[in-house]
């Protein structure tokens, strides 16, 4: 594909969160990439399909408004794309955090809701069964679209992976460090239960499917057990979260992630940046 063009798509219902997180990302702030913000959409799937249609880039990055991409993140993405394309030129999806086929979580992302860096380090691209929705990278020519039958804002990261797998296309977790300034959430809305049932029906042949949040099975009992556990552990979960929404750059600094630009001594990185400037 040569050097792919890249665009960003974000669904946002809160200009302040958008301004204080995603828009502070150097790659976005610089204006060197198209950013399509879809505001107040009824569902993630509708927002993202709208964004997909409004952009033309080879590669589209769908991401949350409460995500901060440190300096050099875009160069790192180009490197990850090249790594995946080297073994799977028809790849469909990359994610910053996903659940591998063995149910282990991969992807170094810092989340303020849990106050730690979640995910194992993928040394090579790791095939996944689901993605966290915080950031999903799609190769346009894979021909995927988000399923608008999925109401609300849940499990679209799992559905899109299932779609790729059903078409025999690769979906991988790769190392793309970032800050998710998501804060603590007490409960999930009613769309969550509907999404669980919708996914269990739609992907019956693939069950069980482990998402970053829950294991999808054919039994609604698993959903109720999970909800009960969430309620039991609510105090612990609240205590774990970082105290308040802060400048994501403070968190990036704490993680040592203020500058992700590939080192100049790295020959592969030099080739990538040569291509970018030519
Ligand atoms: Mn978020």
Strands 171-173 and 93-95: parallel
Whole-structure pTM over 0.85, yes or no? yes
Task: Give the distance (Å) from ligand 1 centre to CA of residue 277.
Answer: 32
Query: 6-262: what fold?
Result: Spore Coat Polysaccharide Biosynthesis Protein SpsA; Chain A (3.90.550)
pLDDT at 70: 98
- The tens-digit pLDDT sequence of the chain (278 residues) is 578 999 999 999 999 999 999 999 999 999 999 999 999 999 999 999 999 999 999 999 999 999 999 999 999 999 999 999 999 999 999 999 999 999 999 999 999 988 889 999 999 999 999 999 999 999 999 999 999 999 999 999 999 999 999 999 999 999 999 999 988 776 667 889 999 999 999 999 999 999 999 999 999 888 899 888 888 888 888 888 877 678 999 999 999 999 999 875 555 555 555 555 54
Task: Give the distance (Å) from ligand 1 centre to CA of residue 183.
Answer: 8
pLDDT at 99: 98
Pick from 152, 183, 174, 175: nearest CA to 20:
183
Task: Give the distance (Å) from ligand 1 centre to CA of residue 25.
Answer: 15
Task: Give the distance (Å) from ligand 1 centre to CA of residue 2.
Answer: 32
The encoded tokens of residue 149 equal 């039958």
Task: Give the distance (Å) from ligand 1 centre to CA of residue 67.
Answer: 7
pLDDT at 184: 77
Task: Give the distance (Å) from ligand 1 centre to CA of residue 48.
Answer: 15
Per-residue H/E/C for the chain:
CCCCCEEEEEEECCHHHHHHCHHHCHHHHCCCCCEEEEECCCCHHHHHHHHHHHCCCCEEEEEECCEECCECHHHHHHHHHHHHHHHCCCCCEEECCEEECCCCEECCEEECCCCEEECECCCCCEEEEEECCCEEEEEHHHCCCCCCCCCCCCCHHHHHHHHHHHCCCCEEECCCCEEECCCCCCCCCCHHHHHHHHHHHHCHHHCCEECCCCEECCCHHHHHHHHHHHHHCHHHHHHHCCCCCCCHHHHHHHHCCCECCCCCCCHHHHHHHHHHHC
Task: Give the distance (Å) from ligand 1 centre to CA of residue 270.
Answer: 33
pLDDT at 14: 94
pLDDT at 262: 80
Domain-wise residue ranges, the chain:
6-262
Task: Give the distance (Å) from ligand 1 centre to CA of residue 46.
Answer: 17
pLDDT at 241: 83
Task: Give the distance (Å) from ligand 1 centre to CA of residue 268.
Answer: 32
The encoded tokens of residue 53 equal 């249609």
Q: Are 216 and 209 in contact (CB under 8 A)?
A: yes
Task: Give the distance (Å) from ligand 1 centre to CA of residue 64.
Answer: 5
Question: Tokens 């063995």, residue?
Answer: 102
Task: Give the distance (Å) from ligand 1 centre to CA of residue 50.
Answer: 19
pLDDT at 275: 57
């Amino acid at each position: 594909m040569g050097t792919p063009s890249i665009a960003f798509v974000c669904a946002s219902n809160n200009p302040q969160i958008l301004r204080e997180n995603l828009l502070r990302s150097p790659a976005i702030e610089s204006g060197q990439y198209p950013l399509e913000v879809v505001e107040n959409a009824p569902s993630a799937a509708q927002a993202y399909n709208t964004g997909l249609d409004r952009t033309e880039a080879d590669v589209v990055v769908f991401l949350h408004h409460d995500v901060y991409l440190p300096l050099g993140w875009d160069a790192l993405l180009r490197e990850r794309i090249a790594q995946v394309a080297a073994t799977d030129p028809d790849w469909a999806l990359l994610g910053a955090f996903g659940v591998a086929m063995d149910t282990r979580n991969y992807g170094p992302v810092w989340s303020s809701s849990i106050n730690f860096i979640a995910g194992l380090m993928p040394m090579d691209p790791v095939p996944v069964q689901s993605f966290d929705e915080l950031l999903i990278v799609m190769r346009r020519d894979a021909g995927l679209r988000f399923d608008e039958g999925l109401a609300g804002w849940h499990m679209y990261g799992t559905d899109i992976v299932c779609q790729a797998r059903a078409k025999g296309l690769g979906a991988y977790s790769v190392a793309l460090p970032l800050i998710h300034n998501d804060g603590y959430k007490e409960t999930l809305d009613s769309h969550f239960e509907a999404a669980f049932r919708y996914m269990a029906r739609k992907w019956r042949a693939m069950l069980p499917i482990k998402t970053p949040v829950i294991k999808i099975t054919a039994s609604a009992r698993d959903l109720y057990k999970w909800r009960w556990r969430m309620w039991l552990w609510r105090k612990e979960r609240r205590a774990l979260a970082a105290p308040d929404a802060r400048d994501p750059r403070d968190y990036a600094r704490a993680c040592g992630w203020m500058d992700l630009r590939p080192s100049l001594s790295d020959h592969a990185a030099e080739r990538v940046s040569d291509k970018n400037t030519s």
